[in-house]
A and B are shown apart, each in its own frame.
Chain A
């Protein structure tokens, strides 16, 4: 097969599974090494550059990096990447002098950001240092969007939001809080060079079931209820609460209820437990707080008496899979279940809503009511209007909102400079050999055998007593170090120079995961099948290098390489080298252009 082109930035980027999986492509191993070295401020800044909200994300991220983590394929559990981020945020020194200062000389371009959530704030952060004038509008009195209004304070303390939103507002944004935009026409008429829409997915889905209207006073939409709790408008709930829905919002609702007077709080979900949308760790957290999760129950009716909610009726279903593997929920034949309750929180999904975007301005919407966007550039059908966050493609999460913000900022910058928005600059790639001596490397190549560390928690009775008390205590320095050492340093790449190889087999013999082979060349499928340990994981590349003296090729299966560097230590000629690849995705202003 064709020799691998290790010069293409995607090749090594894909080997760094966590960074590849992160929507914002945070250089994860880079900051984890800095944490291990106790350089928390430096680790924080590596994060801040990529994902903008390290302290917030270190508590709330959906962590697509962790299922991708290579350690999860050779050990029981992946590295606790998300909570390590928090270690950097918790232990850093004052980093304000490292942040970009407000730019004195503006470039004359004006940008309006609608909504002050994570995507808009990311756009602001990327554009302000380039000299843009940025106006930000939000209906609330402070910045942060759903990070502030919907994530309960026991998961994300207000001080962390204030700090990280403050860093950006301090860079010279002109804020227009308490100003809900009711007409995009108005904004379009103000002569902005570009407009960014980051208004989230603010409408909670309702359930139109018998009794919904009659008992309305005791039935709340999850996200609205959460924001009322967040802003202090609601501070108690009845004793018996049913939360409908299986997503992370449902988990926040039930855990908030436990703290506001709910004693018998239960989650009831249509699907099976395993198919619930909530992240596994959020389900665990809810169960830890004594909240049962009852699955395969479809809500049927609200029971009420004299305008007072008395309970709910559920149909019991089971999952059946058709020939194509699609799941259908069909009646189980069991009798309906009635549960008594005093209040119900409906958290069965949320939707985008754009009542404030007039439909006669020439913007195209698709059949689901979402704006038609270019997925890469975030540009709408009106060239100077861009979208991001949940308002772009429906509800996702904070880290996706940040990624959208970066892309939109890059687009806005190119658009304002008259450059082709679709032409995207590639990432900055920096490759440095880690060799310090015969068997000394500038990274710690010892492979830790420690198991994943659990985050210490506040005792349950203290945690449930006050909705503002943060449940997780975070890793201390010692636990953080132990967890950081579990990282395999996947960004330190095995780089092979065929010309230097004498085919002594030392690397083959030492490799603890049997990744390296010297064999006759062949087509990829066939080649994968006849390696010392067949390369069965097709998501992972095989690294092929030719031109060896015996006419054979070197084939390395990237799948479970520990990046321990033993191949390079055992190589007598330096044909293997360990080289750190730092990949940074292009942000606004990258790739030149005037």
Chain B
């Protein structure tokens, strides 16, 4: 970490987006995480994604639980709404917030401890309900805040910094999210922003439950030779199934790719996800195909990354519940109280 506030001097020719904001306008306070933490790269990727999408910072609500990862919302989108919830309970707070005001963009940031251990139940239900959100797990396989014990996502057989071998089976949050009904599922790596940034952009634009598992090495406790969540291990075993470009409805498509190598998925808002195929016969719109590939990759010791599954026709919680279009927190007495005459009529109809 550093004690200094971030310098306020910036380059004069810093790129600006269509709102006139620079990337620095999407940043937050200076990080207090360990130097080199993968989580800081994910924060930077979120900054980049929001900058690229011309998102107004005050239209975003960022929510988190407890842990190193859950501290990070302080380090990006300093002008957004935020809620740092009880350990593992971020999904229910996010569900409630989303129900109250469907107009905001919801971004949940959690860790492997917060989501796969104490909050596993909450994780399951927020996925199956299809809350319209982007849910990012910053996955480092250890409890960094308590000095590096194995977390529930640590692979069986991997070693801790002190040489202890993990004997428990790992929870794969990607498989779980797929099983539970998430409609946008991806996996990426904090050290690969070229893949991570478009994946976050696609998730922010997706309607429904979008989940991204981001491998984020813990430089202090889990970046050694026996680890399966280290920079070196992830780089060696990373098998990207595709690369995506996110194209907004108002943008024109300029780059061309050979026929057959490209697949375009149109999302509900008209944005286009252009998927450049890297793995043969991988079809991210086919649930069964995605699950099979994941299992096969797992058996071969590969870490499949990229956009693993997408259902562009997904519907979210509000559709399921048939709520009104206007956010519930804006419904005043006039809309909520139909008046004495209506009540009398209703009562009469029941007599």
Contact = CB atoms under 8 A, between A and B. Distances in A.
B231 interface: yes
A306 interface: no
Interface in A333-391: none
Interface in A532-573: 533, 536, 549-550, 559-560, 562, 564, 566, 569-573
A514 B23 contact: yes
A533 B41 contact: no
Nearest to B24: A512
A74 B232 CA distance: 37
B193 A502 contact: no
Contacts of A506: 35-37, 40-41
A559 B10 CA distance: 12
Contacts of A438: 35
A224 interface: no
A66 to B, nearest CB: 17
A533 B193 contact: no
B105 interface: no
B74 to A, nearest CB: 15
Interface stretch (A83-91, A319-327, A441-449, A521-529): A441-449
Contacts of A446: 4
A508 B44 contact: yes
Contacts of B1: 439, 569
A572 B38 CA distance: 11
Nearest to B3: A439
Given A504-B219, A550-B235, A560 B11 contact: yes
A514 B16 CA distance: 13
A446 B2 CA distance: 11
B23 A447 contact: no
A513 interface: yes
B8 interface: yes
**For this complex, into which size category does the number of interface residues on chain B fall?**
35 or more
B7 interface: yes
B41 A570 contact: no
The DSSP consensus for interface residues of chain A is loop
Main secondary structure of the interface of B (DSSP, over half): loop
A564 to B, nearest CB: 5
B191 interface: yes
Interface string A198-228: 0000000000000000000000000000000
A557 to B, nearest CB: 9
Interface in A460-510: 502-506, 508-510
Among B13, B38, B223, chain A packs the most CB atoms within 10 A around the CB of B13
Nearest to A508: B44
A161 B231 CA distance: 63
Contacts of B34: 572
Task: Name the residue in A73, A445, A510 with the highest tally of chain B Cβ atoms < 10 Å from its Cβ.
Answer: A510
A512 B9 contact: yes
Contacts of B232: 502, 549
A582 to B, nearest CB: 24
A560 to B, nearest CB: 5
Given A73-B12, A512-B10, A533-B15, A569 B35 contact: yes
Contacts of A509: 40-41, 43-44
The 4 tightest CB contacts between A and B, nearest first, are A572-B36, A447-B7, A509-B44, A569-B2
Interface of A: 73-75, 438-439, 445-447, 449, 502-506, 508-510, 512-514, 533, 536, 549-550, 559-560, 562, 564, 566, 569-573
Interface of B: 1-4, 6-15, 23-24, 30-31, 34-38, 40-41, 43-44, 190-191, 193, 217, 219-220, 223, 231-232, 235
Given A449-B9, A510-B2, A572-B219, 17 more contacts: A439-B2, A502-B232, A504-B37, A504-B191, A504-B219, A505-B193, A506-B37, A506-B41, A509-B44, A512-B24, A533-B15, A536-B13, A549-B232, A560-B11, A562-B9, A569-B4, A572-B35
